[in-house]
């Protein structure tokens, strides 16, 4: 029987055709597609083979799952143990609800990496001469404040001392290559070239991890770069996160003083032999045109020192030095299982001007992370200095005080020809570019913005009838892109750029609605676990930065909240299993320190509701609310992985915390101690109040907002809870008023004043006071973008009903004068879309539900008689089940497909 059900979007460990994984029992996933309503999968068969030709004949030489009767679109590889370097191809076949079988899917693939330390024949190498000179200079802490262990003050003279980038090369002879695979990594940043051609398009490799525990290596197929006879391989190293400036203390070299490289090229020849070229003492090293390269400080490149052909055979390397072989490097090399940083777009400037002679400013029209590509025709030695900033000063120059100690400056020295140049080992957060030293007057084509970030696929769209909300959502997406640079950072521009846990957990659910961050967050949660202390305390930032603290309420709790969000959105319980023991240690630590169930002791830095506006939320209220939240989520996750005794224990703990919270902070009339918007929002959203007091507390929340003339006062944590608490307690109108406000403080205020990204503070800039304190004032910070989740789940009405969008909730809730809204989300089960409008007194809703899922659709109707689907009374539509009236909405249950509902209002 032929079916319309088609398997598609095959992935291994959340990635498409990954190379070099080190998961020995990888998770294979797919979606199913069908143009037929209500279609679903009832069985599947996965074939895995180490020979593609066998797979094409329907033979799984490694694993044949057989016909598994299941609607799950995921399978854990169940064949014999996989070995290093193994190449695996796989397909899936599915059966539909009527027993019809699909054809085999298109073939997908993955390769195994180097699974054991003994697989690495290469050695860690470096070139220490430039770093020895740096060490002799004594420049580690390079500002007066940094010498005292303090942050650099705004305007403090900051002169970083940086070493030139080491270059490496080796020549070798190769017979005809059938296949060539490069495994490479660095302590620092690296790029590799073979025979003059750059390997791959990933940037800032290998990314950032806690180098005390692990560093990731990349695997590339380089067969097409080799030739018979003489070949050459070359590499460039830069300091990166490992040895460069990191954080806001004005210091470099937190993990190590000098960068290191490891690379192993394995060439399978036509005669069956294997040639291995690894980094070892036979490699040569030198310095070249990269005079400086640092993530925070920028890059200096002298084109006069370029070495044509340096990574090709025949280059004269007789003056090159011997490399240093690094002894005692024990860091674990792990295969990379997340999307690398890549260029994802280009931006042309929209205008330029000269605020003073010789100074040229370009407005890129968008605040983003990346750099610019320079085009110039200059005499030899012409020095062009490019500085970056997010805003403009009153005199039309670029505002840079908020960068603190980050120099954020790229310099190019001309070689005397028409050149195009862009940096390779730095990035900046900026909208404005200031250039000096350019010969003549540059046109708009002198610079091109290059957008770069972790290249996770985009997964969501949102648009509505309000231009303000469209800009808000666009700003959220741009801010996320600018800050998802291998880890979820707080800002891309100043001398910080750290993976703050509190910011990430607040934003995590929104992040999943805009990008496919399954692999991104899985990697970062490993960073979080690596940074956990032996007694269970989660850090404030991950990867670990030694200057940051730990155990802070709302920040450390990300160790529990983020795995829960990941499981909720992607449905993979392995994330819970992998982090369960660490999560337990954290909750037990807080519980031991606070036997009365009020989190008042061992609170770390205790930041409270960070950056609230004149709002005195008691820190103990916020802390105890998060204690309850962590206990509640841990109890749920224990149930999911069948830890029943643990689940019962943490359910009792939650009861104790909730009771203590109400005794200490909640009065009989529904007042919550502090009586701030955040106090009420978090108590309601975290479900800490008895049902008998929820109405009263919701009314007090409404009153607290009304007392501020319908403006919010919440900080990071309160803002994430505010609109959900209002809409859940019958105050949808208030939620929309806050959302649509354009006066200070509000999301709309920054947009009205030209923001193209989210600001760190509500008052980062105001008409009355200008710029806020430059010591902490980013114009690209995603925390207040937590509202993005509400735009998708409430305005557009798309949410999951349980883990992984197997069951879907469609419940758009119009308001705020909106006349239409639409959204699309590419879930792990397939694309979900809604488009509602109000026309001629009727509510219209178009819905797309992916195959193999079901949805509950909530319509603003009091009875089924007022609802039609594609022109037919809804009760006559076979694929639609009318189930109930809930809270004034008609609830329908549907299977997959596309539907058009009309509600007479």
Residues with a catalytic annotation lie at 496, 760
**Dist. CA 375–CA 359, nearest whole Å:** 16
**Dist. CA 597–CA 657, nearest whole Å:** 5
**Dist. CA 693–CA 420, nearest whole Å:** 66
Terminal C-alpha separation, the chain: 45
Contact 167, 286 (CB under 8 A): yes
**Dist. CA 396–CA 350, nearest whole Å:** 15
Three-state SS string over 659-721 comes to HHHHHHHECCCCCECCCCHHHHHHHHHCCCCCHHHHHHHHHHHHHHHHCCCCCCCCCHHHHHH
Contact 551, 604 (CB under 8 A): yes
Residue 864's nearest CA partner among 893, 823, 841 is: 893
Tokens of 747: 């999301």
Cα 880 to chain centroid distance, Å, stands at 38
SS3 content of the chain, % helix, strand, coil (to 5): 25, 30, 40
Tokens of 602: 């061992």
**HSE (side-chain half, CA atoms, 13 Å) at 662:** 19
Contact 745, 763 (CB under 8 A): yes
Alpha carbon distances (Å) from 550 to 8, 166, 508, 531, 577: 43, 36, 20, 9, 23
Pairing of the two strands 298-302 and 409-413? parallel
DSSP string of 461-508, one letter each residue: EEEES-HHHHHHHHHHHHHHHHHEESEE-S-SSSS----BHHHHHHHH
Residue 429's nearest CA partner among 456, 458, 451, 404 is: 451
Three-state SS string over 9-41 comes to EEEECCECCCCCECCCCCEEEEEEECCCCCCCE
Cα-flanking dihedrals φ and ψ of residue 811, to 5°?
A: -150, 70
Contact 375, 444 (CB under 8 A): no
Contact 452, 343 (CB under 8 A): yes
Strand partners, 227: none
| DSSP classification of residue 106 | P
**Dist. CA 894–CA 810, nearest whole Å:** 10
Alpha carbon distances (Å) from 420 to 148, 442, 894: 42, 14, 56
Residue 223's nearest CA partner among 262, 279, 176, 278 is: 176
In 127-281, where do the E strands start and end? 166-174, 177-187, 189-194, 197-198, 214-221, 229-238, 260-269, 274-278
Tokens of 710: 């319908």
């Amino acid at each position: 029987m032929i079916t319309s059900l088609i398997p598609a979007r095959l992935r291994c460990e959340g990635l498409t055709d990954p190379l070099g994984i080190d998961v020995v029992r990888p998770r294979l996933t797919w979606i199913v597609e069908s143009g037929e309503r209500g279609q679903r999968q009832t069985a599947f068969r996965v074939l895995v083979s180490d020979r593609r030709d066998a797979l094409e004949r329907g033979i799984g030489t490694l694993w044949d799952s057989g016909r598994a009767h299941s609607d799950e679109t995921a399978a854990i590889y169940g064949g014999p143990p996989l070995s290093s370097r193994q190449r695996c191809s796989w397909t899936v076949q599915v059966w539909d609800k009527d027993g019809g079988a699909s054809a085999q899917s298109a073939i997908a693939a993955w390769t195994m990496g180097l699974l054991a330390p003994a697989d690495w024949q290469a050695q860690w190498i470096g070139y220490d001469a430039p770093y020895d000179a740096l060490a002799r200079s004594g420049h580690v802490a390079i500002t007066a404040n940094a010498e005292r262990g303090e942050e650099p003050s705004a305007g403090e003279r900051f002169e970083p001392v940086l070493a030139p980038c080491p270059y490496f090369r080796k020549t070798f002879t190769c017979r005809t290559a059938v296949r060539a695979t490069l495994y490479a990594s660095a302590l620092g940043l690296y790029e590799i070239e073979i025979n003059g051609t750059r390997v791959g398009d990933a940037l800032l490799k290998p990314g950032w991890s806690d180098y005390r525990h692990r560093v990731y290596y990349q695997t590339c197929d380089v067969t097409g770069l080799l030739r018979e006879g003489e070949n050459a391989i070359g590499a460039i190293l830069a300091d990166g996160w490992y040895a460069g400036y990191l954080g806001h203390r004005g210091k470099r070299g937190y993990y190590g003083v000098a960068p290191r490289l490891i690379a192993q090229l394995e060439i399978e020849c036509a005669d069956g032999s294997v040639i291995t070229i690894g980094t070892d003492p036979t490699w040569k090293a030198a310095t070249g045109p990269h005079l400086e390269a640092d993530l925070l400080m920028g890059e200096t490149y002298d084109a006069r020192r370029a070495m044509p052909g340096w990574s090709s055979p025949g280059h004269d390397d007789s003056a090159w030095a011997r490399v240093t072989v690094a002894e005692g490097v024990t860091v674990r090399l792990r295969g990379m299982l997340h999307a690398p940083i890549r260029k994802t777009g280009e931006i042309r400037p929209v205008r330029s001007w000269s605020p003073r002679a010789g100074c040229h400013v370009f407005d890129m029209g968008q605040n983003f992370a990346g750099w610019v590509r320079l085009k110039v025709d200059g005499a030899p030695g012409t020095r062009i200095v490019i500085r970056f900033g997010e805003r403009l000063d009153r005199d039309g120059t670029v505002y840079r005080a908020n960068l603190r100690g980050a120099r954020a400056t790229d310099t190019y020295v001309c070689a005397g020809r028409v050149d195009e140049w862009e940096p390779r080992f730095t990035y900046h957060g900026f909208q404005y570019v200031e250039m000096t030293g350019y010969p003549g007057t540059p046109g708009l084509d002198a610079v091109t913005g290059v957008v770069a970030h972790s290249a996770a696929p985009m997964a969501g769209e949102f648009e509505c009838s309000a231009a303000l909300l469209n800009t808000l959502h666009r700003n959220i997406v741009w801010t996320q892109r600018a800050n998802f640079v291998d880890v979820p950072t707080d800002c891309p521009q100043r001398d910080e750029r750290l993976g703050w846990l509190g910011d990430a957990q607040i934003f995590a659910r929104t992040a999943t609605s805009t990008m496919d961050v399954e692999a991104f967050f899985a990697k970062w949660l490993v960073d979080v676990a690596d940074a956990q202390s032996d007694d269970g305390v989660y850090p404030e930032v991950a990867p670990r930065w030694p200057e940051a603290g730990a155990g802070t309420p709302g920040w450390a709790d990300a160790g529990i909240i983020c795995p829960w969000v990941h499981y909720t959105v992607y449905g993979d319980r392995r994330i819970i299993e992998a982090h369960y023991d660490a999560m337990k240690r954290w909750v037990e630590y807080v519980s031991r320190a606070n036997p009365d169930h009020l989190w008042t002791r061992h609170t770390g830095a205790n930041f409270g509701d960070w950056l609230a506006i004149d709002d005195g939320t008691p820190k103990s209220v916020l802390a105890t609310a998060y204690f309850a939240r962590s206990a509640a989520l841990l109890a749920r996750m224990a149930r999911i992985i069948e830890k029943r005794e643990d689940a019962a224990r943490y359910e009792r703990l939650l009861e104790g915390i909730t009771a203590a919270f109400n005794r200490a902070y909640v009065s009989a009339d529904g007042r919550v101690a502090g009586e701030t918007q955040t106090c009420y929002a978090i108590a309601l959203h975290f479900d800490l109040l008895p049902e008998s007091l929820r109405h009263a507390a919701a009314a007090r929340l409404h009153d607290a907002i009304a007392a501020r003339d319908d403006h919010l006062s919440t900080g990071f944590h309160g803002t994430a809870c505010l609109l959900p608490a209002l809409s859940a307690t019958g105050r949808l109108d208030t939620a929309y008023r806050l959302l649509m406000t354009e006066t200070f403080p509000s999301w709309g205020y920054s947009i009205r004043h030209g923001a193209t990204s989210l600001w760190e503070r509500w008052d980062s800039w105001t008409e009355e006071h200008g710029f806020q304190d430059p010591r902490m004032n980013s114009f690209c910070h995603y925390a207040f973008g937590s509202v993005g989740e509400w735009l998708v789940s409430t305005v557009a009405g798309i949410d999951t009903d349980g883990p992984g969008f197997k069951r879907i909730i469609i419940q758009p809730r119009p308001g705020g004068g909106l006349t239409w809204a639409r959204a699309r989300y590419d879930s792990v089960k397939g694309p979900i879309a809604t488009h509602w409008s109000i026309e001629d007194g009727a509510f219209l809703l178009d819905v797309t539900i992916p195959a193999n899922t079901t949805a509950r659709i909530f319509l603003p109707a009091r009875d089924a008689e007022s609802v039609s689907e594609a022109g037919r009374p809804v009760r006559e539509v076979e694929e639609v089940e009318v189930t109930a009236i809930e809270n004034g909405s008609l609830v329908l249950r549907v299977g997959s497909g596309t539907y058009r509902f009309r509600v007479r209002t």
